[in-house]
A = this chain, B = another copy of it.
Amino acid sequence: MVVQMRDSITAIGPCGTCAQCLHCEARSRSICSVIDPEHMSLLDQYSHRLVITSGKTFIQEGEAASDFFIVTSGHAKLFALMPDGRRQITGFAQSGNFLGLASGATYAFSAEALGPLSLCRFSRTGLSTLRREFPKLENRLMEEASCELVQAQKSMLLLGRKTARERLASFLLEQHQRSLTKARVTQLPMSRTDIADYLGLTIETVSRTLNALQREKLISIAQVTQITLNDLPALEILARGG
């Protein structure tokens, strides 16, 4: 089985013997794609599967960055805290995303599970070994780091220069794109508080702005976490600011 991915990387699908498990499914999207099938067992030597319960903080800012993670199912939020409790969510991670690229000796952020979460964990030393063994892995890591940097720059523009309306429109479109569905209904895995902390707003402003967009027929809020994007072109114009 061969799957065409993103630009030009040809990925080899669900690996080895357990074709179904999420572990392998997400690994195939992020790591297995660059490792020959006959070496999969070597990969297994260096990775371990983890299951995290909802709300659990599994990466703590400031602690020694000994591990590297790949999300295999569920969602996580990455965030930084200030001493007085102010919080900035710097990103959300879902199946296939890497966690721990942005680290020196210690983690530069904390990470918490948004609902049940499955992870694939690599020790940094193990990952180094894998990188020496599979040079293509380097490309994959760089590619992912580049994407995260581009995403971070978009967030900086959003946080520094966009209005509350523009931020919400950008956020909804981003979530919609992530879901990879053509349906205009988006299921949000995070709370209003998380949205606020991601967009640099308060929960009240998020709530008010979302309802304003609904009054203007740009979106429909069926349930709190289920939003329909009624007018994609208008939302896109709003998101980019004209």
**Which residues of A line the B interface, CB within 8 A?**
7, 78, 80, 82-84, 86-88, 90, 101-105, 108-109, 131-132, 135, 138, 141-142, 145-150, 152-157, 159-162, 197, 199-200, 240-242
Q: A149-B148, A242-B82 are in contact. Are A161 and B104 (CB under 8 A)?
A: no
Q: A155-B156, A200-B159 are in contact. Are A145 and B101 (CB under 8 A)?
A: yes
Q: Min CB distance, A132 to chain B, in Å?
A: 8
Q: Do B153 and A149 touch across chains, with their CB atoms under 8 A apart?
A: no
**How far is A22 from B155 in the complex, measured between Cα atoms in Å?**
34
Contact residues in B for A141 (Cβ distance below 8 Å): 142
- 5 closest Cβ contacts across the A-B interface? A160-B200, A102-B149, A152-B152, A159-B159, A145-B145
Q: Do B157 and A90 touch across chains, with their CB atoms under 8 A apart?
A: yes
Interface centre among A102, A105, A147 (most CB of B within 10 A): A102
Contact residues in B for A147 (Cβ distance below 8 Å): 104
**How far is A156 from B157 in the complex, measured between Cα atoms in Å?**
9
Closest B residue to A199 using CB positions: B160
Q: Do A149 and B101 touch across chains, with their CB atoms under 8 A apart?
A: yes
Contact residues in B for A148 (Cβ distance below 8 Å): 149
